Amino acid sequence: MRATPEIPAVVDVPGLHDAVLGWYDEHARDLPWRGVDASPWSVMVSEFMLQQTPVARVLPVHAAWLATWPTPAALAAASTGEAVRAWGRLGYPRRALRLHAAATAIVAQHGGEVPRAYADLLALPGIGDYTAAAIASFAYGQRHVVLDTNVRRVIARVAAGQELPPRSVTTAERALAASLLPDAPADAATWNVGLMELGALVCSVASPACERCPVLDRCAWVAAGRPAYDGPARVAQTYAGTDRQCRGRLLGVVRDADGPVALSTLEAAWAIPEQRDRCLASLVEDGLLARVGPASYALP
């Protein structure tokens, strides 16, 4: 796929800002981590949970998590096993361990308050560039480039005339996103979340609702006739029969139990011995399960 170009001279950046910010003001979903009373911790928890997980699945778990652990200190005082149990069926449960580790570091290094500075956020366990930028932007109204899947797709279409962005973030793509970012920090933060919402609700991957798009008349991809993606093939991820499914099945059995689970119960949950044994070992190695006897497992 060709490299993402610099921002085209014909793009009316102020017009894009007005259109997206106005649309978001009218169409934004009422989500708890976006409310004026949302704490930085609420924003941080949402960012961990929303990674590769739809909003609808996150909402009830986010609410329960904040009710149980309303501060980083509250979570840090809990066991990792409690965090894994509360994570429920969101998937990718190592995120629960990373969030617990980040909360512990916040208590130890930042007096229990989610740090404001991007560099301090980036230094926390389990936090990369995207999450650090998102927390700084959405929790503290700072000016950062925030490139999630939805933002990248909208920018690729509107400004670069491409159906899909590169498979991973490129230097040119980041420069293009930075060139579109409003100067005022508050506007930049709203611009970021507005692009996210536009990508989630209108500019979807397979069936974009261009007729409802506030920047339809400014979209380079539409102006070019909506050319199809011409980059490397994007192979859809499978789930059935994978180690990820096996790990999830085994962890779910232990998570739903009141105490230690016998190996015989786990053998009944997954019938392929070699895969089951490999996944059990990896769950223990990752800290998601603990072997508490010669033939039994429990949450840590």
Residue holding tokens 């692009």? 195
For residue range 1-38, what is the model confidence (pLDDT) as tens digits?
444 444 454 478 999 999 999 999 999 999 999 988 99
- pLDDT tens digits, residue range 68-88? 999 999 999 999 999 999 999
The domains of the chain, with CATH numbers, are 243-298 (1.10.10)
Catalytic residues: 47
Which residues, given as ranges, of the chain have pLDDT below 50?
Answer: 1-7, 9-10
Nearest to 255 by CA among 284, 298, 292: 298
pTM equals 0.90
